[in-house]
Structure 1
């Protein structure tokens, strides 16, 4: 496949897990228990990366596929897994944010 075709295909792929993790991360970081947690770009990227590396990717190519995948988010076990991993990501990164160059 040509490089241009690969780039075009990459633009059509969307990992719904990324959206869900970022939404949950934003929701949890607004909570009082996480007011003192680092929220700069590096910390946020580290939290998202930590969570995404521990959750299965859910790729879609259409709005219909996106809607189907988003309904899966509501399934109890999947939602619990995402919440658990996102909270762990916040804790791991916040415990280690002193190691970052600020």
Structure 2
């Protein structure tokens, strides 16, 4: 769906962390994953900015590995702090989703 950029900004960290929690991955794969979910406006630069921010917050473990094509890649897994952040994110998301549904129904 297009036109989600503003709404997505607040949720993108959680979405990226959720993807990383499923298994070790890298930026380009995350971008492709988001596009297959329907986030057509997502570009690699946006994902790499989020990954850098998450890395600086200590939410990710990063491993550099040689790539078969191009420069070495950074592979990401969640740190313990990242796992807790993701748990907190989903609690906040559930509260927001429930509240928005109630608001819409009134």
The TM-score range, normalised by the shorter chain, is: 0.3 to 0.5
Structure number with greater CO (CA < 8 Å, separation at least 6) is: 1
TM-score (norm 1): 0.33
Q: Which has the higher strand share?
A: 2
What TM-score do you get using the length of structure 2 for normalisation? 0.32
